[in-house]
Amino acid sequence: MLKSISTFAALVTALILGAVPGVRAAEPIQLDLGNWTPSTHHLAVNAFEPWKKIVEQKTQGRVKVNVHHGGVLGISKATLNDVKGGVYHVGLMVSGYYYDTPLFKLTIGELPFAINSSAVGAKVMTEFVDKHAKDVFDKLSIKNMGVFATDGYVMMSTKPIRRMEDLKGMKLRAAGKAWVQIAKDWGAVPTPMTTEEAYTALERGTLDVMQISPTSGMGYKYHEVAPYVTQLGAPTVVGGMIMNKAFYDKLPADLKKLFDEELNPALVNLITGSYDRGADGSYEKMREIFKAKGKGEVIALSPEERAKFVKPTEPEWTAWVKEANKRGYPGEAMMADFKAIMKKNGLVLPF
């Protein structure tokens, strides 16, 4: 009898301590996040790595996030197909790269001189998507984790740009399909290019001007080969975090709820916060670097010169509506709602 009691007590103790052979805690769900920016990029440092910790803490270790930086799982233009195909589970999507897909709807936020900050841009685009583009993600068989906008772009160039005339004949990175015509109107040569290719292109002279957010420009170290930074403030690029739908569908109901209500919004907030906080700091760092090297400058355009850049871009707003109508979307209604949402969030229409 005593032996039976001892055996039972040992079994209970072993169960409590998790020491019974063959009895183990469930393995955590592995979530792979593919990041095509370098590990030094502000999104890697200020958004993806902190989010990894938040997810693992909030799920109490039930989900383990593996962040893969530097495009080791795929380049920026492949994100949509990579996430959809399950190469990795979560990815950073740039809507302008998918102009010919239903994601075209999101490119309204990239119209010239529309959005001027990441925090406001996220609010504007989230409301616009809720009204006009919820169906986009279902059509593409991906899960929308949230949309955002970058801070306003600068022109990082190999020669100073103080006036629109200075762009004449320069090879300018077109930040999206709509910006091809704008580059031409400015007198530049439009040169489509991904962010990953630009450093080498600037170094070799196959690109003269890189349009990029100042925060991202620092992360890619473009200032090393393009030390003249003209503060234009346009465009802002609309992006989004997307999740593999099959991965999401297999999550337990409580984890789906946690991602939808807390974890996905947290990731978008980290991204927008990183963009908004990073712009001023990036300018200061670049000024320090340029001063130490004796070459380079952060250039602020006069209101008169900036107006010269703005004016030729107005037709692109009309062109967007025409393209939307051509695709069977209610272009005029979408534009009217977009402008109303802009005004609601304190943005001034450029035209």
Do 242 and 135 share a domain, yes or no? yes
Do 301 and 183 share a domain, yes or no? yes
- Backbone dihedral region for residue 73 (phi beyond 0: left; psi -120 to 50: alpha; all else: beta): alpha
> Could you write out the three-class secondary structure of 233-301?
CCCCCEEEEEEEHHHHHHCCHHHHHHHHHHHHHHHHHHHHHHHHHHHHHHHHHHHHHHHHHCCCEEEEC
Residue 163, number of CB atoms within 10 A of its CB: 15
Q: Is the peptide bond between 112 and the residue preceding it cis, with omega within 30 degrees of 0?
A: no
Residue 53 per-residue DSSP state: H
**101-141 confidence digits (pLDDT tens):** 999 999 999 999 999 889 999 999 999 999 999 999 999 99
- Whole-number pLDDT of residue 25: 60
Do 197 and 296 share a domain, yes or no? yes
Do 267 and 318 share a domain, yes or no? no
What tokens does 298 get? 């952060």
Residue 13 lies in a domain: no
From the number of C-beta atoms within 10 Å of its C-beta (0-12, 13-18, 19+), residue 88 rates as buried
Do 168 and 46 share a domain, yes or no? no
- Whole-number pLDDT of residue 19: 41
What value, to the nearest 5°, has the Cα angle with vertex 194 and ends 191 and 196? 130
Do 91 and 226 share a domain, yes or no? no
Of 228, 251, 278, the residue that ends a domain is: 278
Residue 81 lies in a domain: yes
Length of the chain measured in residues = 351
Residue 39 belongs to domain spanning: 27-107+116-149+238-278
Do 242 and 171 share a domain, yes or no? no
Relative to beta strand 228-231, strand 189-190 is: unpaired
Do 232 and 288 share a domain, yes or no? yes
Residue 143 lies in a domain: yes
Work out the percent of the chain whose per-residue pLDDT is above 90.
Answer: 85
Are the CB atoms for 129 and 279 separated by under 8 Å? no
- Whole-number pLDDT of residue 228: 98
Residue 7 lies in a domain: no
Residue 2 lies in a domain: no
Do 191 and 311 share a domain, yes or no? yes
Q: Output the CA–CA distances (angstroms, integers) from residue 316 to 108, 109, 311, 313, in the order listed.
A: 10, 12, 11, 6
Residue 43 lies in a domain: yes
**227-259 confidence digits (pLDDT tens):** 999 999 998 999 999 999 999 999 999 999 999
Give dist(CA 44, CA 46) in Å, integer: 6
Residue 17 lies in a domain: no
Q: At what angle do helices 264-293 and 49-58 cross, to 10 degrees?
A: 160
Are the CB atoms for 319 and 251 separated by under 8 Å? no
- Whole-number pLDDT of residue 26: 84
Do 132 and 263 share a domain, yes or no? yes
Do 201 and 292 share a domain, yes or no? yes
What tokens does 210 get? 């890189």
Are the CB atoms for 91 and 144 separated by under 8 Å? no
Of 250, 278, 306, the residue that ends a domain is: 278
Task: Give the phi and the psi of residue 24 in degrees, each rounded to 5.
Answer: -135, 155
pLDDT per residue as tens, the chain (351 positions): 434 444 444 444 444 444 444 444 689 999 999 999 999 999 999 999 999 999 999 999 999 999 999 999 999 999 999 999 999 999 999 999 999 999 999 999 999 999 988 999 999 999 999 999 999 999 999 999 999 999 999 999 999 999 999 999 999 998 777 789 999 999 999 998 889 999 999 999 999 999 999 999 998 999 999 999 999 999 899 999 999 999 999 999 999 999 999 999 999 999 999 998 888 889 999 999 999 999 999 999 999 999 999 999 999 999 999 999 999 999 999 999 999 999 999 999 999
Residue 9 lies in a domain: no
Instruction: Give the CATH number, domain containing residue 227.
Output: 3.40.190.170
Give dist(CA 113, CA 343) in Å, integer: 14
| Total tally of structural domains belonging to the chain | 2
**46-76 confidence digits (pLDDT tens):** 999 999 999 999 999 999 999 999 999 999 9
Do 318 and 203 share a domain, yes or no? yes
